[in-house]
Structure 1
């Protein structure tokens, strides 16, 4: 949750109690909870509208999948998996100690 641990939450609660006072704190907490529920509901509606507009082939679409960091990570992991597959092929065996790598005279 945003990298906030228990000690940080305790400090935030203490400051909120001092600033708002014990009388208004429950009311403010209730309003914050309602606002979070409303934002979550709006995000879910936006996701559902996007799924409806894109059609049935995108029924399993998640908004996290559209994050550029997730897309790059996915492609990098696929490329690494392909390299592992190539290395595990019979011709892709590791070199023995002292063995020279193959040399292609037509490569350069």
Structure 2
């Protein structure tokens, strides 16, 4: 019930309760509060049993926690067979490879066959695949000559 209250907060609440109610009235207040909580629990349990009896036998597995949208969705997704097929399909799809192929097509480069991680055929001296530009190398040409505009507000 009070899982997010730390020890220091609990001590503060006890000290505050002693100061507000006094040591003489504090046991009576604790009894009244515990009796009130017990009555609320009894009321909610009887309301749950009334609702279950009114729903009938087809809802015998009904849990009130299922009314929480997160719990309901989690339970529905676990039992769905279509999602298992989607997970299998997802495991066969390599998004990174597809994105690289699209980027290569946009830039007009040829797509390279997958290299098995070793520097061999299809790689340059610095280890990058042949056909991909070396981004660390200084560029010559019109793009290198252009400087970005000076922004006085940024400084």
The two structures have a TM-score, normalised by structure 1, of 0.69
| Larger deviation, residues 52-61 vs 19-28 | 52-61
Match of 1:25? 26
Asked if the contact 1:16–1:25 (Cα under 8 Å) also holds between the matched residues in 2, the reply is yes
**Structure 2, unpaired ranges of 5+:** 103-155
Structure 1 residue 37: Cα displacement: 0.6
Higher helix share: 1
Structure 1 residue 75: Cα displacement: 5.1
Structure 1 residue 56: Cα displacement: 1.3
CA deviations 1:37-73 (Å, max 9, x no partner) are: 1001111111111100111122232222112343345
Asked if residue 86 in structure 1 is aligned to residue 69 in structure 2, the reply is no
CA deviations 1:14-38 (Å, max 9, x no partner) are: 0000110110000000111011110
Distance 1:96 1:34, change over 3 A: closer
Match of 2:14? 13
Cα RMSD, aligned residues only: 3.1
Match of 1:47? 48
Distance 1:78 1:56, change over 3 A: closer
The 3-state SS of whatever aligns with 1:15 is helix
Asked if the contact 1:47–1:62 (Cα under 8 Å) also holds between the matched residues in 2, the reply is no
Structure of higher RCO (CA pairs closer than 8 Å, 6+ residues apart): 1
Rg larger for: 2
The 4+ residue runs of structure 1 with deviation greater than 3 A are 72-79, 93-101
Match of 1:65? 66
- Partners of 1:96 and 1:63 in 2: how far apart? 42
- Aligned pairs, number: 97
